[in-house]
Structures are given as C-alpha cells and as structure tokens.
Amino acid sequence: MTTDEEQAVKHELDQALDMVREEPTHINYWNAFKRIQRLSLRTLKIPDDKKVRIALLSSFTVDQLAVYIDIGNRLIGLYPEMYVGPFNQYQQEILNEASTLYSFHPDVIILAVTDEDENFYTGFVNLSEEQKEHHQTEIISRFSSLISELSSRTDAYVLVNNFVVPSFSVLGILDNKMDMGLTDFFRELNGKLASLFRGSKQVYVVDLDLAASDHGKSRCINYQMYYMGRFGFSESFLPCIADVYMAYIKAIKNWTRKCIILDLDNTLWGGVLGEEGFEGIKLGKDPPGNAYLDFQRLLLSYYNRGIILAINSNNNFDDAIRVIREHPYMVLREKHFAAMRINWASKAQNMIELAEEINVGIGSLVFVDDMPQNREQIKRMLPEVLVVDLPPSPFLYKRTLEKLNDFNVLSLTEEDRHRGEMYYSQKGREALRRSKMSLNDFLISLQMKIAINPADSFSLPRITQLVNKTNQFNLTTRRYTDAEITKMAENEKEYGVLGLSLTDRFGDEGLVGAAIIRKAPDAWNIDSFLMSCRVIGRGVETAFLAKIVTIAKNNGVSKLIGEYVPTEKNQQTSHFYGDHGFELFQKREDLFRWRLDLTTSSMKSPEWVEISDG
C-alpha cells in the first residue's frame, strides 16, 4: 500500500469531517458518514489506541444514531468500526452464540431499547399495585438475563439505556395520587435498573430519560418518521443522545481531559482588570458579576471532583494576584490553581509551560478564554488542546462548560477527588520549576523566519496602521500620520523606518512589527518600537532589537538610545531595554531613556528565529 493512497484517503476523510465541523447539520452528518464509508479506510495505518469497535443493537431503527456515533468518534480523532444489528433482533443476537454480534468482537455494545409491550399503557389504570410490581420485576429480570448473557460471552463494555418517563399519563393530575402512577412506575423502574448494575465494571446504564428531559421530551421523537420508519430519535435529539454515548466512549478510550486552563479578564470576572481596576471588575451579586460567580462555583465543583485548574492570562501579575487573594467575591483562590502563568508572554507558550509544570500532556488540557483570537492561536499552534468555544455572553458560560463531556472516567478514586490539592502542595515544594529545554524545542518547532526591511510604498500603509493602533507592546505609543511617516521614510539621512514581517510553520503573519529611528551622528535614538501582540513572547522582539543594533554598528554609530514612555497599557515593555543590557541614564515621569554602548556591547539574536535579509 502506497503512502499516496493513504494520503488521499486521509484527505477525503478530513474534507468530510470539516464539512460537519463547519456546519453540523443532519444532512451533513449523513453525507459525511456515507462518503467516509465509501473510502478504503483499511489503507490507513491506525494505532490500536485510536481504534474502537462499536456494536449497536436496538428495538427501533437506529441507523441514524450509528451515523452520529461514527462521526462523533471521528471528530475527536478516533477510528470507529460500527456494527448495526438487524432491526429489532437484539434478543436473538444476544442469545445466539454464533451471531454476527459476537464474531464482530466489539469493544463497546450499545443496547438502545424501549419496552415493546404496547398494551401495557392501555390497561395501566386497571392494574393492581401487585401487578405493576410484577411487571417491573419482569422487565428487570429480562434485562438482567439478557445482559448477563452478554457479559458472559464478551468483555465488551455494555451501555444500556433506561426508560424515558412518559410525559403523558391518562390519569392527568391524579397520576401521583395513585399508589403507583405511570410516572412513578417508570421512575422506580429506572431506579431498579440503576441499582442492578451499580457495582458493575462492565455494564453502564445510560440515562436516556435525563438526556430526553434536557432536550425536551416533546422534541425527542419526530412522529412522522417514527410511524413511517420506526425512527427512535428525532433529528434534533440525535446529536444530544450521541453526545451522551460519546461521554462513555471517551472514558472507555481514556480520551479524558484532566485540566482546565483559565483566562482571567472576561472569563473569571467581567471587564479588563488593567483598565477597570480592582474595584471596577464585575464579580459579585449584581449582573453580570453573578454569572461569573456561578461560573467560578462550577469550576470549584470540578476542582472538588479532581479536575486540575490553572491560569493562563495576559495581565500584570501583581494586580491579578491581588484580585485572586483579596477580592471578596472570588470563589477560586490561589490554592485552587495548580499553576499560574500571569504575564505578557504568548498564550501558547504559557500553555506549554503549564502542561510541563503540572506534568500533564497537552492532550489533557481544556482552554477557556473569552477572546476568539487567543482561542484561534491555541487551536492553530496546539491542536491537541480542547478549546472551548465560549459564547459571547457570560450568562451562558456555565451552561457551556456543563455541556462538555470530556472529563469522564469509568470510576472515580479517592485520589482523583483530591488531585487538585495534591497539585497545589507539589507546586509549593517545587516552586516554579521550569523546564527551559522543551520550551526551546517548542520555539524551534515554530520555524520562525523574519525579514526586517526599510519601509517602502508597499509596507508604509501597514506600518502606519500598526503605529497608530498598537497599545500593549509599544515602547513610546507615539502616533504619526501617513504623511509624517512617509516623510521620515524618505529622509534616510535623519530617519530609519523599519518594518518586520514574520512567517512560521503555520503560515504568513505578515508585517507585525515597526520601528522608527532618529539618527544623530554619534547616537541613534529609537523613537518608536512596537509589535503586534499576537507575536510577542517568542523572541521575535529580541531579534528585531538585535538587528537594529547590528545596523547601527555597521553604520559606525557608537551609542543606541531606547526610549520608553509609560502608558496605562504598555507596562509589559517597561523593562524591555533593561532586559536587553541597556542602562537607564535619564528618568522623568513621562520618559525613560536607556543607553547601549555599541563599542563595548553586542546583542545576541535568538537562534530559533531565522533572519532573512531582504
């Protein structure tokens, strides 16, 4: 089998799945499923831990559910093989040792069944309490014997659904005045079913009743399709119930997330701390602060159940930690976080450091951040991280996180429940041990290439735009008009206007940095130095400054002067020149001037950034 063939199949597979990702409609699920079935999937070399064999047995038409489960597996990177048993023959399949079910050797058996005794409802009012109990016992023993047949013949996990408690009773408002009304009948039955398998490590009762309630029972069946084709679930309910099954499959395949990485501003509280201050952020009893409060409560309950929490935020550390320690309404405090990165480095870099410090794989992380561009950055650079598509409204944060089915394990140990605390004490012991090695590897893996060139007619508009809109990584925040910058660019004797473009292995970032230099005979003055936020923290800013040093030296200049003008937003750059060996020689409230003696010093450009001369 050639690699080309494998590539082609993989490409078609990705295309079909991307269609579903972009537009997860019923018709697209169906179309993707059918297209994928036509591919020769056997050409793909799949590691065993990514394979899963699922048998689906049912008392109704279940092909549509198979579609959603198949695609649901593929969307998270698993390679399922499905067997769908013949319509309403699940009992024969289970009882016949030679059936296709067993020769298929499933890892997971989904038993999607309803009670078929259609006369039961009609006569329900006339049944005595004893008869009702007898009927319950019958149903339970039928389940019990079928499933013990199953477990004696296979090691597969068995997922059997419970009963949907009917939302209609002919008894109406008197249903719960009976000794056992219809609602009670099914609730009790579900209770008995759950107790029957409570201790089992092989059989799990899927709470179909809960899933149906969550979706709305009246919307769970499309009656036209139910009567015409015995379709058990409506188009709108299928993705919901498939998600429930996926929760089990993820747990079975150890596809479990362990750690939630949280942003701070507009994620744990409302507003931007750097702009609104300790008193100004929204967290408390009034809306929207109450929604953030509830969101934190949910995170605390995850913590108590053993999910690790950590912070990845672009903020001033001192300001943010003060909120975490002292804000009266913070639910989550320092002790709840296994690790924190509150700085101005890139979120991707922080993410890698966090995974290392906590000692979990990147694939165990869930990232929660309100800013779409941060989410995009992580999705692109660290595709293994589960990036939550947080809705714009904080009122929906809690619901969104509750809907994740990625934290499931098949059993919960005492150790699991205390994992959060363990990490906190470990953090205390090891302080902030950082492994520089693999961060280095990460930066090298980005394959960054930069080009630094004097402004020309192509780059001028973009440079002007950057000069006028960059706030955070901007040393002086001096704004210039198009005409002013053009003039400076043309006057090469007195000015240098430089633009920096970056490409990495993910693509072309375009022009992301600019500098303006005022030239005097013996000293060059860096009037402006700025970069787009999305590329800082990767060493590119150092490479840029080092290049300016080199150019100055080549021009026989002996001194390079860097200026810093503090604003509300550029605190992260306050030590930029100091960190690069400049010495502070002039300090006014609104202007800091740093100096580098070019006759004695030089500056090293980071080896992971390749500089191409244009």
Partner 1 sequence: MGDLTKSLNQIVSKILLLDEAEINDHTSRKDVKTWDSMTHLLLITELETAFGVMMSDDDIKGIRTVGDIKTILRKLDAHM
Min. distance of Cβ 112 from partner 1 in angstroms? 17
Task: Rank residues 61 and 350 by Cβ distance to partner 1 and give the closer one.
Answer: 61
Name which of 27 and 437 has its Cβ closer to partner 1: 27
Q: Does the protein bind partner 1 through residue 26 (CB under 8 A)?
A: yes
Q: Angle CA(248)–CA(186)–CA(155) in degrees, nearest 5?
A: 30
Classify burial at 223, counting beta carbons within 10 Å of its beta carbon; exposed 0-12, middle 13-18, buried 19 or more: exposed
Which tokens in the block code for residue 367? 């990232």
Q: Does 1 bind partner 1 (CB under 8 A)?
A: no
Q: Rule CB under 8 A: is residue 63 a binding residue for partner 1? A: yes
Query: Among positive and negative, which fits the CA dihedral 375, 380, 385, 386?
Result: positive
Check: CB of residue 82 under 8 Å from CB of residue 69: yes
According to CB under 8 A, which one of 6, 10, 31, 404 is a site residue for partner 1? 31
Q: What is the DSSP letter of 434?
A: -
Burial (CB < 10 A; 0-12, 13-18, 19+), residue 227, is exposed
89 binds partner 1 (CB under 8 A): no
Q: Please pick, from the candidates 58, 136, 222, 476, the single residue that binds partner 1 as defined by CB under 8 A.
A: 222
Alpha helices per DSSP H over 216-288: 223-229, 238-252, 273-280
Cβ nearer to partner 1, comparing 16 with 340? 16
Q: Of the candidates 411, 408, 73, 72, which has an alpha carbon nearest to the alpha carbon of residue 248?
A: 408
CA-based R_g, the chain, Å: 31
135 binds partner 1 (CB under 8 A): no
Tell me the residue type at 405: N
- The region of 24-32, 109-117, 488-496, 603-611 touching partner 1 under the rule CB under 8 A is 24-32
Minimum CB distance to partner 1 smaller for 230 or for 462: 230
Q: 26-38 and 238-252 are packed helices; what angle lies between their axes, rounded to 10 degrees? A: 50
Does residue 345 contact residue 537 with C-beta atoms inside 8 Å?
A: yes
Minimum CB distance to partner 1, residue 433 (Å): 54
Return the range that interacts with partner 1 (CB under 8 A); candidates 34-42, 254-262, 346-354, 577-585: 34-42
By CB under 8 A, is residue 28 in contact with partner 1? yes
| 226 part of the interface to partner 1, by CB under 8 A | no
Only one of the segments 199-207, 226-234, 260-268, 396-404 lies at the binding site for partner 1 (rule: CB under 8 A); that segment is 226-234
Q: Does 374 bind partner 1 (CB under 8 A)?
A: no
Q: Which stretch binds partner 1 (CB under 8 A): 114-122, 225-233, 349-357, 451-459?
A: 225-233
* Contacts of 91 by beta carbon, 8 Å cutoff, 6+ apart: 146
Q: The tokens 């903020």 sit on which residue? A: 315
325 scored as a contact of partner 1 (CB under 8 A)? no
CB-count burial class (<10 Å; 0-12, 13-18, 19+) for 453? middle
- Residue selected from 229, 271, 454, 581 as contacting partner 1 according to rule CB under 8 A: 229
Q: Alpha-carbon distance 240 to 249, whole Å?
A: 14
Element (H, E) at 218: none
Question: In the set 3, 5, 23, 34, which binds partner 1 (CB under 8 A)?
Answer: 34
- Residue 68 contacts partner 1 per CB under 8 A: no
Nearer to partner 1, 20 or 206 (CB): 20
Give the Å distances, CA to CA, from 609 to 343, 418, 505. 22, 42, 12
Asked if residue 30 binds partner 1 (CB under 8 A), the reply is yes
Smallest distance from partner 1 to CB 31, Å: 4
Residue nearer to partner 1 on the CB measure, 21 or 34: 34
Please identify which residue in the block is written with the tokens 């500056």: 603
Q: Indicate which single residue of 8, 76, 225, 565 sits in contact with partner 1 (rule: CB under 8 A).
A: 225
Q: How far is the CB of 232 from partner 1 (least distance, A)?
A: 13
Q: Is 12 in the site for partner 1 (CB under 8 A)?
A: no
The CB-of-78 to partner 1 minimum distance in angstroms stands at 24
Residue with tokens 């672009």: 314
Q: List CB contacts of 21: < 8 A, sequence separation 6 or more.
A: 75
Q: Which stretch binds partner 1 (CB under 8 A): 31-39, 190-198, 366-374, 392-400?
A: 31-39
Give the pair of three-digit tokens for residue 136. Answer: 């319950």
Residue closer to partner 1, measured from CB, 38 or 45: 38
Q: Binding segment for partner 1 among 33-41, 488-496, 537-545, 572-580 (CB under 8 A)?
A: 33-41
Interface residue with partner 1, options 81, 133, 184, 235 (CB under 8 A): 235
- Please, which contacts does 415-418 make with residues 24 or more away whose CB atoms are closer than 8 Å? 415/306, 416/305, 416/306, 417/304, 417/305, 417/306, 418/306
CA 604 vs. chain centroid, Å, equals: 36
C-alpha to C-alpha distances, 519 to 55, 443, 491, 525, 558, nearest whole angstrom: 75, 34, 10, 6, 12
How big is the site for partner 1, counted in residues (CB under 8 A)?
A: 17
Least distance in angstroms from the C-beta of 77 to partner 1 = 24
Q: 172-211: which residues touch partner 1 (CB under 8 A)?
A: none
Give the one residue of 35, 217, 335, 519 binding partner 1; rule: CB under 8 A: 35
Q: CA-to-CA distance for 291 and 278, rounded, in angstroms?
A: 18
- For residue 64, the minimal CB distance to partner 1 (Å) is 8
Contact between 243 and partner 1 by CB under 8 A: the answer reads: no
| Nearest distance in Å: CB 379, partner 1 | 27
User: 30 vs 197, which CB is nearer to partner 1?
Assistant: 30
Long-range contacts, stretch 574-577, CB < 8 angstroms, 24+ apart = 576/475, 576/529, 576/541, 577/475
Of 46, 170, 194, 228, the one binding partner 1 by CB under 8 A: 228
Query: Measured from the CB of residue 160, what is the shortest distance to partner 1 in angstroms?
Result: 25
Query: Which residues of this chain interact with partner 1, rule CB under 8 A?
Result: 26-28, 30-31, 34-35, 38, 61, 63, 222, 224-225, 228-229, 231, 235
